[in-house]
Structure 1
Amino acid sequence: MSPSLIRRLDLRHDDTQDLPRAPLDVARALDVVAPLCDDVRDRGEVAVLDYGERFDGVRPTSLRVAREHLVDALAGLDPAIRAALEVSIARLRVTCEAELESTVVTTVAEGATVERRIVPMSRVGLYVPGGLAPLVSSVVMNTVPAQVAGVGSIALATPPQAEFGGLPHPTILAACELLGIEEVYAAGGAQAVAMLAHGTLATGGDVRPVDLVTGPGNIYVAAAKRHLRGTVAIDSEAGPTEIAVVADDTADAAFVAADLISQSEHDPNAASVLITASEDLAAAVESELARQVPRARHHERITTSLAGPQSAIVLVRDLDHAVEVADAYAAEHLEIQTADSAAVAARITNAGAIFVGGFTPVSLGDYAAGSNHVLPTAGCACHSSGLSVRAFVKNVHVVTYTEAALREVGHHVVALAEAEDLPSHGAAVSARTGAPARAGEST
């Protein structure tokens, strides 16, 4: 029997072993990314062009993509691809509009209101990968929630392609035009994130800094987002893709194998993990991988991904143990292919997105489910969420009190200020209510 394309990790009797993870994580990548981002801050567009030439093998004549290229790209787009993009946009727009929160005004007492005002970000930067694959779907996933949120200024960066003379991939440009994104830059990788975060105005360029950077990318893009957090807001660390499948004997091994392969196709560093208590299913999936992988267009990339330390078939004791392991892994994409899969999915706490049942593959979510495929990776789903309208808005409290309302609660403010030894805080109330000042208060 030929060796399996993917290793097994047996947790049935020893669950202290580390779960599958990529050897290069964001923390290690920071050592490479931090000086690069600082260089872009200091040298601006010249640095971005230098890194593009180094990493992408091409130096665009201009970072800003002229509008005519967007128009031409859409005019030349395959009608079938345009139709698919329009369906993807329409379905995502429906869910985004449902997610959009409304301003809420709460009356906490007579004459006292607190308004939670929903305010869109003023300017955002969207990152769309274009290295091994031109991720046109990421144009949709980034742009639609930003537009529904009401963001007024949107800039999009995507890598230049030597094949297209330093322009980004034409399908990506066509999607930008279809969605009305006019500010597009031929810049990729960590340098693009730094360009969006710092802007280039201080170094004589034309790129205005953004308030938020969103979008997926490789490990260096994720590291750049971590490094620049604070300078700019980020959605999450959406690095190399990953899939985990919780499955039992009811699962179709051909489906499971196809889904593992679908995510391995993205990147040699992509992670594909099967979590199961069934040795029979594990063996059947191994056989299906051996059958399906050689037939795949990108079989070399897929083979590298499946053979890496980030991928494995994880054997567990039972379904309860599978749920426990899935929550600990906190997958970007988690499929549930079990009996009563909806009930199992309801028990999951940590996942970027959950795909329930044998006919809900991750690739559906990548394109046309109506969900967003920009999701936290590398275990970050335990504390971060996938991209949504909420990422593109802020909550601002607007507080309004009448004189009578302030008098009614003012003595409590004074008491708490005194408890914190901040008497001038209380004095700011007493000056308005005429209440006697305490010792140490200014009047």
Structure 2
Amino acid sequence: MLRMIDLRGRAAAGEPLDYATVVPRAAFDVTAAVEVVRPICDDVAARGAVALAEYSERFDHVVPASFRVPAEALAAAEAALDPDVRAAFVESIRRRRTVSEAELGQRGVEVTLAPGARVAQRMIPVRRVGLYVPGGLAPLSSSVIMNVVPAQVAGVASIAVASPPQREFGGLPHPSILAVCSILGVEEVYAVGGAQAVAMFAYGVPDLCPRVDLVTGPGNIYVVAAKRLLKGRVNIDSEAGPTEIAVLADASANPVHVTADLVSQAEHDPIAAAVLVTSSAELAAAVQAELGGQVAATKHADRVRTALGGAQSAVVLVDDLDQGTAVVNGYAAEHLEIQTVDAEARAGLITNAGAIFVGPWSPVSLGDYSAGSTHVLPTAGCACHSSGLNVLSFLKAVNVITYSEAALAEVARHVEVFADAEDLPAHGAAVSRRFSS
């Protein structure tokens, strides 16, 4: 089911290998999608709620009675929760909040560079954020937690959530999404999906939704395209593409566990990526053999089979774990599992991954829900330069500069010389005139 890419012996033969391109990514043309969503976003900016109603009818096949979800609907969704589901939600919230509070750490620094010369850094929460929660192939109530909790811990004063209306729920978002919002105390929730939700947040809609300063959260290609289009008018967290898992494993790994983890992420989307990088041909064969039974037994078998059979998924055979480490660092997976005899030490060699899951008892599914870590992570190789959504995503670092007369005098000549070197004499004069008679 998974195609084989055999790198063994190729490096020793002197063949140049670009590990970043060993496994191709699924086609995800955001640039083309931008032109699709541009008129939608422009229309929401121009016509507000009227445009939202038209796009809701066109794309979601239902128009909510109210785009803003009534408070009683949030309370009812929470009250209707199965006790076990509620317990799972609450524990996930507790763990994510505990980790977020640790991420917050020191909220500012202050450095004295010379007597009377002080530079401080203040961490200021974003004023207002719009958090998008997908509702397509799966109602991702876990994404409510991953977006809302770090925003709350950061001190964001105004939080709004948007999720697509569901025809089977009378035009409201999925009940589990509403229930988590209620548990978290989020009262501003909108039954709006897709690019039009991003436009609503970015532009604001009179008498409905004030504009926000930051939009976060994953979505389909049109949500991603709208975020790209409107970046600058509003800040965004990232452009999240199809989900992906890479597993770096040796002969010690359990093929049943490895297979289950690959299937779990392939379940997300037909273009999800599942990649096994291993130095063990025996493990690779065992995983291939195990896939048939596990895929056939899972609910979304067709979706999983399509994802595993796509060009974006593969088994990569390597000479040894050092080459395997180079491959996964080049690939820069959203989720990276390490199932090797030296998993802890091997994890220390990883420089590019959205999140690293160490050892046989740390599956990606744990991180999706209850590990305490974030599951809003960089995709498409962006883990080589970007981080997952966390408390710092909702904070602005602002320098505060305080110099006395004596402290400025001490450095004044340096400023004047620097300004002259850049042919900006007025910059230097702004300092020198303070000391002229």
Classify the TM-score, shorter chain.
over 0.9
Residues 21, 310 of structure 1: 8 Å contact kept: yes
Structure-to-structure mapping, 1:66-85, within 5 angstroms = 66-85=70-89
Q: Tell me which residue corresponds to 1:439.
A: none
Whether the 8 Å CA contact 1:217–1:240 is kept in 2: the answer is: no
| Of 52, 57, 63, the match for 1:59 | 63
How far apart in 2 are the matches of 1:131 and 1:39? 23
Of 401-410 and 140-149, deviating more is 401-410
Give the TM-score taking structure 1 as reference length: 0.93
**Corresponding residue of 2:5:** 9
RMSD: 1.5
Aligned to 1:210: 212
Question: What are the residue-to-residue correspondences of 1:97-176 with 2, within 5 Å?
Answer: 97-100=101-104, 101-176=106-181
* Unpaired runs of at least 5, structure 1: 436-443
State how far apart, in whole Å, the 2-side matches of 1:323 and 1:227 are. 36
Match of 1:293 among 292, 295, 308: 295
Q: What do residues 195-242 of structure 1 show as CA deviations (whole Å, max 9, x unaligned)?
A: 2122123xxx42111111111122222222222221211112222211
Paired position in structure 2 for 1:47: 51
After the TM superposition, which of the residue ranges 136-145 and 300-309 deviates more from structure 2?
A: 300-309
For 2:173, what is the secondary structure of its paired residue? coil
- Given residue 403 of structure 1, which amino acid in structure 2 is its aligned partner? E
Partner of 1:308: 310
Taking the aligned partners of 1:377 and 1:194, their CA distance within structure 2 comes to 23
Structure-2 change in CA distance of 1:310 and 1:103 (3 Å) = same
| Structure 2 CA distance for partners of 1:275 and 1:49, relative to 1, 3 Å | farther
C-alpha contact (below 8 Å) 2:23/2:313 kept by paired residues: no
Tell me which residue corresponds to 2:190: 185
- Residue 359 (structure 2) aligned to one of 357, 360, 365: 357
CA distance in structure 2 between the aligned counterparts of 1:206 and 1:303, rounded to whole angstroms: 43
Out of 226, 251, 254, the position equivalent to 1:252 is 254
- Indicate if the aligned counterparts of 1:410 and 1:433 stay in contact, CA closer than 8 A: no
Specify which of 378, 381, 388 is matched with residue 379 of structure 1.
Answer: 381
- 1:405 is aligned, of 407, 420, 423, to 407
After TM superposition, give the deviation of residue 48 of structure 1 in Å. Answer: 2.7
Out of 414, 424, 428, the residue aligned to residue 426 of structure 1 is 428
**Structure 2 SS opposite 1:433:** coil
For structure 1, which segment, 177-186 or 265-274, has the greater mean C-alpha deviation from structure 2 after superposition?
A: 265-274
Question: Partner of 2:209: helix, strand, or coil?
Answer: coil
Q: Which residue pairs with 2:270 in the alignment?
A: 268
Q: Distance in 2 between matches of 1:345 and 1:319?
A: 12
Change (3 A) 1:284 1:173: same
| Distance verdict in 2 for CA 1:386–1:75, change over 3 Å | same
Query: Which runs of 5 or more structure 2 residues have no equivalent in the other structure?
Result: none
- TM-score, length-normalised on structure 2? 0.94
By how many angstroms is 1:18 displaced?
4.5
Identical positions, percent: 63
Q: Which residue of 1 aligns with 2:332?
A: 330
In structure 2, distance between residues paired with 1:70 and 1:95: 26
The CA deviation at 1:429 is 1.0
Could you say if the C-alpha distance between residues 44 and 80 of structure 1 is closer, same or farther in structure 2, counting changes exceeding 3 Å? same
Q: CA 1:343–1:26 in structure 2 vs 1: closer, same or farther (change >3 Å)? A: farther
Please say if 1:95 is aligned against 2:91: no
Q: Deviations over 1:246-270 (max 9, x none)?
A: 1111110000110011111111121
Aligned residues: 428
**1:130/1:398 CA distance change after superposition, 3 Å:** same
Distance 1:328 1:38, change over 3 A: farther
Taking the aligned partners of 2:197 and 2:103, their CA distance within structure 1 comes to 29
Q: Is the 8 A contact 2:133 2:161 kept in 1?
A: yes
Pairing 1:29–2:33 present: yes
d(CA) in 2 for partners of 1:273 and 1:25? Answer: 21
